[in-house]
Structure formats: C-alpha cells, structure tokens
Amino acid sequence: MKEAPVLPDLSAIQLKAAAYLVRAGKVSGKVLIHRRLLEEIESQASGGDVVAVEGLNELRSACGERGLELEYVGEAGEGKASRLMILEDASRRGAKILTCDPVTARMAESMGIELIYELPPPPFTIKELFGDDVMSVHLKEGLPPRVKRGVPGRWRFEDVREEPLRREEIELVIAHLMREAYESFGSDAFLEIDEPGVRIFQLRQYRVVVTRPPFSDGFELTVVRPIVKRSLRDYYLPGEVLDRLETQAEGILIAGPPGMGKSTFAQALAEHYKELNKVVKTIESPRDLSVSADITQYSKSAAKGSELHDVLLLSRPDYTIFDEIRGPEDFDLFIDLRLAGIGMVGVIHATTPIDAIQRIANKVDVGVLPSIIDTVIFMDKGEVSEIYVLEMTVKVPAGLRRADLARPTVIVRDFMSGEPRYELYVFGERTFVVPVKKEEAEARVPERKIAQLLQKHIPDFSIEAEGNLVRIFIPERYYRTYIKKVQNKLLKLARRYSLNLQAFPR
C-alpha cells in the first residue's frame, strides 16, 4: 500500500521537527509544502525572521539524504496559511498532517485527519532546571539560560550554561510545555492569555509567560514556581495582629516591592480565612495562587466588562483576595467591592506603606479612605515588616496651628506602637500627606488613649483637639453607654494630662 504523503505546517518547519522526523525515519512518504506556507516563510524572512527559512532548508536537505520527494502544492494567495486551511488541504489530498502545535493536533483528530504530532528533544526540560531552591527560569534568545535561586528577598541569578540560546531552542522548550499543558487543560493546566505576542498559562505549579516580537524585542520564556507555601502561623504574628485580621480588618492592603513575598502572605491569609469558615474567593491575572479547592479563583483576564463585579456582588464572599491591583480598573473594582461591604485583601506593589495608601487615596475622598483601607501590611524579604492602621478623626492636622483649621483627618498609625506616622487631609482642593514628627506624636498620647478607651465600648465617635481642649462627639444611641462605662475613666485621664474634656451627643 502506498504511503500517504505528509503535509507539515509552519510550526513543524520552524522547529525543524519535519527535518528531524525525516532523518529519524519516522516520515517515509512524499513531503508536501503548501505554497501559502512558502509565502508566509518569505514574509517572515523579509522582516528579518529567518528561522522558518532555516527549517525549510533543513527539511529539503533531510529529504535529499533520505531520498524522499519534496513537492510544492496548492495555490498562492493573500493572507496567512491558517490552521483550518492547512487541515482542509491535507484532508483533500489524503495527506497526514505534521505539526508541533497542540491546537492543530486536536483539530486534526476531531476532523479525522491522520496526524503526526511529535517533537524533537528539547535542549533541556523545565523540570531539570528547577532545583529545590529555584524560584524561576528565564530564557531569552541571544542570552545564556538563567535561573533565579533562593527565596523571596534573598535570591541570585545563575547561568545554566555559557552558550546563548537560539530562538529555535526556546521555541522547542515552549512547544514541549504547550503539549504537556494541552494534555491536561481543565485539570492541571489552564490558559490565561493567548495573543499573537504573548501567551500566559498555568501548568501544575508552574506559571509560564511567553513573549515574542513585536510585543518583546526577542523570544522570551519565563517560568515561575512558588517554592514557599506558608501558613499564617509561620509568620509568628503577635496575638493582637491575628485578632485584628480575624475580627476587625476588612480592607487590607499587602504591600511591598516585587519579590518580597506579598502573594505568599496573601495565600496564607486566604487559607486562614477559609479555616475560620469564611467564604473566600480570589481575583488573579494569571491565576497562580496555590490555594485549596474550597477557594474559588477567578481570572481577571478571562472576565469581560463588569462580570467580576456582578459575580462577586451576587455571591457575597466574606473575603476576596485581589492579586494584584495594577491599573485604574483594578482600583475601581477593589474600591467598589469594598464599599459594597465585601472584605477585600489587595496585593499591591509599593516601596513604602504610605505609597500604597496614597495610590488608593488619590482615587477617593479622604473621608471614605478608612472605610476602604483599614489595615496595611508591608512585606520585606518574605516577612511582615510593618503594620499600619487607618482611622478618621476631626482635628487640626499636623503642621497647622490655628484652631479654626480643624477638619476631617485620616491618621495612619503604627499598629504595634500605636504611634501616628502620617496624617492625610484636604486643604483647598489638594490632598496632603504629612509625616507626623516624633514630638507631635508624643503630644497626642492623651488623644490616643482617649480613643482607645472609647473603642472598647463605643463603635462610632469623633474627637476634636485644640490645645488642652478635647471635644468628643458621640451618637445619641451610645451616649448612655458613655455615661455609664466610659465617662469616669476619661475624666481621670483628663485630670492626669491637665485636659479640658467635653462630650456632646450628636
């Protein structure tokens, strides 16, 4: 019986898989090259991309070595040689399709076309490069392959070999990863973004990012694996911090520079809330948090328009982990969901805690800022470095002196010491962020102690301070509680600090 001809697609030519299989004796029939593919190869070469031309030369040489006939078929025409066009032509000619593309392979199977889907061996496998302490693998054409070795905040780059990578080597590694991913999509793998210049997918614990010209200046492959999975108890947080996270904090920012362990902490916090029987969901792009199946992970890149907003408002999770907040739409979604009453945990890049706060403050009225953010956790080298809390009061802001300048002011405190670090307020049409000097902070110790006493019994109040005069405004429904449980303690405190204390129902 006559051997069916073989029609390779562009991927098989570019990766030199067609030449490899001919030389290996796995292709023995006539080899057909569609003229539409020739046009595309010529177009790539005109733009400086000669990989496909080199692959075609390799195939022609391999056919000559093995004594196989190479024939050019089909009609030239405008437009690219699409998957469907090549598949339909193979079907009409009774040819086998030779491909390195998993989508083409699946379509060929569904159309009943004979298929050769086999790849040359890669220069190395990703699994080989990932040792126990390797965080990520970085491959770029023209550069030696590199790995990032260490842990968040303490890592170093190492070259895997001295020779620079060729583009076809990177393409071959990508093709093997894609084949493995397509075999397990829906279970151990999922595709986040698939565009001409960028492809992002998750394969088991690996996050794979592929970029190519014109999106990037060369072919690049980055594979990231979380090497640390921690629980909240591994951070050895003080009891009062855990108590705040469990009972008070509902607008949390996890901030820090890249690679400092923000997502690892967010993952630990998500699992902690789940163990407290909270309903937890995540918003990710791509979905790379390693969380238990009880926590539903939503893809921001796969959602359209207001889908995420509507789904979360209707499903009403106790907490939503937003990893990570980048563009204006992300900030708008975070703010809107938080104001709707959903507990939000946002991961955000920032060099200092106040930078993270300002990125939200610039988008809302200062008066509602503590309703959106009440706790900021700053990460450094994989550990919790600082914790700030936000509260609203009416006072003369730091740096101002006249009593008639009292206004709503957001105080940013160091949670562990209770010391105010910054104040945010509006003056004219501008929002000011003012560091609180140490002597000013010490002068406000009585004011802070008054607030601490009130918080034990009264959930809503405001304080105005002008020199030695302190006015407290308490909602009418809590005023009797104030008289019974707080008033005498506050009067003793006022005498100790020589304050004139006045309380008013409102």
The fold adopted by the segment(s) 126-224 is Beta-Lactamase (3.30.450)
DSSP 327: S
Mean pLDDT of the 425-433 span: 81
Mean pLDDT of the 106-124 span: 89
pLDDT per residue as tens digits for the range 279-298: 999 998 767 777 888 898 88
In which residue are the tokens 């100790």 written?
496
Residue 173 to residue 204: CA distance in whole angstroms: 16
Residue 369: predicted pLDDT: 92
Stretch (H or E) spanning 474: strand 469-474
Q: In the CATH hierarchy, which top-level class contains the domain 444-506?
A: alpha beta
> What backbone torsions phi and psi does residue 223 show, to the nearest 5 degrees?
-125, 125
CA angle, residues 243, 248, 254, in degrees to nearest 5: 85
Residue 179 to residue 102: CA distance in whole angstroms: 6
Indicate if the pLDDT at residue 413 is higher than 60.
Answer: yes
Indicate if the pLDDT at residue 154 is higher than 60.
Answer: yes
Q: Quote the pTM value.
A: 0.66
Instruction: Kindly state the tokens that stand for 247.
Output: 């009972």
Fold match flag (126-224 vs 444-506): no
If phi > 0 it is left, if psi is from -120 to 50 it is alpha, else beta; for residue 498 that is left
Q: Are 97 and 113 in contact (CB under 8 A)?
A: yes
Indicate if the pLDDT at residue 187 is higher than 80.
Answer: no
Confidence band, pLDDT 50/70/90 cuts, at residue 186:
low
For 273, the 3-state DSSP assignment is helix
CA angle, residues 133, 138, 141, in degrees to nearest 5: 155
Residue 61: predicted pLDDT: 93
DSSP 298: E
Angle between helices 83-93 and 35-46 (to 10 degrees): 150
The fold adopted by the segment(s) 232-435 is Rossmann fold (3.40.50)
Residue 476 to residue 35: CA distance in whole angstroms: 84
Residue 285 to residue 289: CA distance in whole angstroms: 10
CA angle, residues 255, 300, 170, in degrees to nearest 5: 90
The amino acid at residue 323 is D
Mean pLDDT of the 301-318 span: 83
Mean pLDDT score of the chain = 86
What distance lies between CA 369 and its chain's CA centroid? 24
Q: Where are the domains of the chain?
A: 6-117, 126-224, 232-435, 444-506
Indicate if the pLDDT at residue 439 is higher than 60.
Answer: no
Question: Which CATH number describes the domain made up of 6-117?
Answer: 3.40.50.1010
Cα separation values, 463 from 110, 238, 493, Å? 71, 29, 15
Indicate if the pLDDT at residue 207 is higher than 70.
Answer: yes
Q: Rounded to a whole number, what is the largest CA-CA distance in the chain?
A: 107
pLDDT per residue as tens digits for the range 96-110: 999 988 888 889 999
More confident residue, 137 or 202: 137
Q: Could you give the dihedral angle defined by the CA atoms of residues 74, 79, 84 and 89, in that order, rounded to the nearest 10 degrees?
A: 0
Confidence band, pLDDT 50/70/90 cuts, at residue 221:
very high
pLDDT per residue as tens digits for the range 382-393: 899 999 999 988
Range name among 115-124, 221-230, 244-253, 348-357 with the lowest pLDDT average: 221-230
Q: Are 330 and 323 in contact (CB under 8 A)?
A: no
Q: Which of 342, 470, 457 is nearest to 403 (CA)?
A: 470
Mean pLDDT of the 450-465 span: 80
Q: Which of 124, 288, 303, 298 is nearest to 201 (CA)?
A: 288
Confidence band, pLDDT 50/70/90 cuts, at residue 241:
very high
Residue 443: predicted pLDDT: 56
Residue 410 to residue 423: CA distance in whole angstroms: 6
Residue 320: predicted pLDDT: 94
What distance lies between CA 153 and its chain's CA centroid? 18
